[in-house]
Amino acid sequence: MKKLSNYRLVAVAAAFALAGTAAIAEQTIGVQDGGSTTDAVATARVNVRVLVPKIVILRVGNAANTVPQIDFSYGITGFAAPQASASYTGAIPPTLTATTTGTAGATNAGAVVVGAWTNMPSTTLTCAIGALAGTTAFVSGATAGGVPGTADITYTVSGATPPPHPGSAGDLTDCDGVNSQTLTERTAYTGTYTYASAVTATDLDPGTYGLTVTYTATAP
């Protein structure tokens, strides 16, 4: 076994001392006699990582921090509220016509732009119904007792690549917080949800009824 000369021992010791400092990531030294046919080899490593966060984006309405609103207003054609007593020659009971208007990102046709994107597999889209402040809550299912029901507010999905709507009934009973659809990762979803009222207006008591539909995309 060959012994290292003093100057080589000093070099090795210095290398190990430097390796312990914060300024050096990794350092090794290869030492062979000058006349040796064995290669002198030193290696050093660098770790390279790519860090990508989980991302999920969901849009319902315009690209702003405002909640779109769709109003279905019913009335007798030619009689605007408030209205004093006037001559009426129509049917009893009357036929009430619906007017659809939209604000804050919804159109007068009851449509809202929807979009989504995620980089996570198995991302799910759900929806749930909650109360709307200042209004009377809908009943669950069909309209009953003079109050509109969630089953009588329908939706249709359109567009080139729209986010799939949770459920399959085609009305807001689908929004039970359980029904879900899967969003494919790295797919740019864009399309339209269009809401319509199938309520028979003469089945309703007068008042203002409302609900909020909350859509939730979850990337596990």
Q: Residue range 31-49: average pLDDT?
A: 94
Checking if the pLDDT of 3 tops 50, the result is no
Domain of 29, in residue numbers: 1-48
86 domain-assigned: no
Flag whether 133 is in a domain: yes
Residue 19 lies in a domain: yes
**Based on the domain organization, do 34 and 115 belong to the same domain?**
no
Residue 29: per-residue pLDDT:
96
On whether residue 4 sits in a domain, the answer given is yes
How much of the chain, in percent, has pLDDT values that exceed 70? 89
Considering the domain architecture, whether residues 109 and 206 belong to the same structural domain is answered as yes
DSSP conformational letter for 27: -
CA dist 74 and 69 (Å) reads 16
Residues 115 and 187 in one domain: yes
Q: What is the mean pLDDT of residues 92-101?
A: 93
Instruction: Please give the Cα distance from 119 to 55 (Å, whole number).
Output: 6
Residue 143's CB: how many other CB atoms inside 10 A? 21
Same-domain status, 73 and 25 = no
Same domain, 113 and 190: yes
Q: Which amino acid is at 15?
A: A
Among 103, 107, 125, CA closest to 185: 125
Does 117 reside within a domain? yes
Q: Is 72 found in the same domain as 43?
A: no
Task: Please report, for residues 44, 96, 152, 191, 213, the alpha-carbon distance to residue 172 in angstroms, rounded to integers and kept in the order given.
Answer: 62, 23, 8, 18, 8
Counted domains in the chain: 2
pTM of this structure: 0.83
Same domain, 139 and 71: yes
Burial pattern 7-21, b for ≥16 Cβ within 10 A else e, equals: eeeeeeeeeeeeeee
Residues 100-154 have pLDDT tens digits of 999 999 999 999 999 999 999 999 999 999 999 999 999 999 999 999 999 999 9
Is the predicted pLDDT of residue 186 greater than 50, yes or no?
yes
Question: Does a structural domain hold residue 105?
Answer: yes
Any idea which of 58-67, 111-120, 186-195 has the lowest mean pLDDT? 58-67
CA 220 to CA 125: how far, in whole Å?
Answer: 12
pLDDT at 24: 58
Same domain, 164 and 77: yes
Task: Give the pLDDT band (50/70/90) at residue 17.
Answer: low
- Do residues 36 and 14 both lie within one domain? yes
Say if residue 12 is in the same domain as residue 72.
no
Q: What is the CB neighbour count within 10 angstroms for residue 79?
A: 12
For residue 116, being part of any structural domain is answered with yes
Q: State the Cα–Cα distance between residues 189 and 162, nearest whole angstrom.
A: 5
User: Among 165, 148, 147, which Cα is nearest to 156's?
Assistant: 165
Same-domain pairing of 26 and 133: no
Asked whether residue 206 is assigned to any structural domain, the reply reads: yes
Q: Name residue 166's amino acid.
A: P
Query: Are 109 and 44 found together in one domain?
Result: no
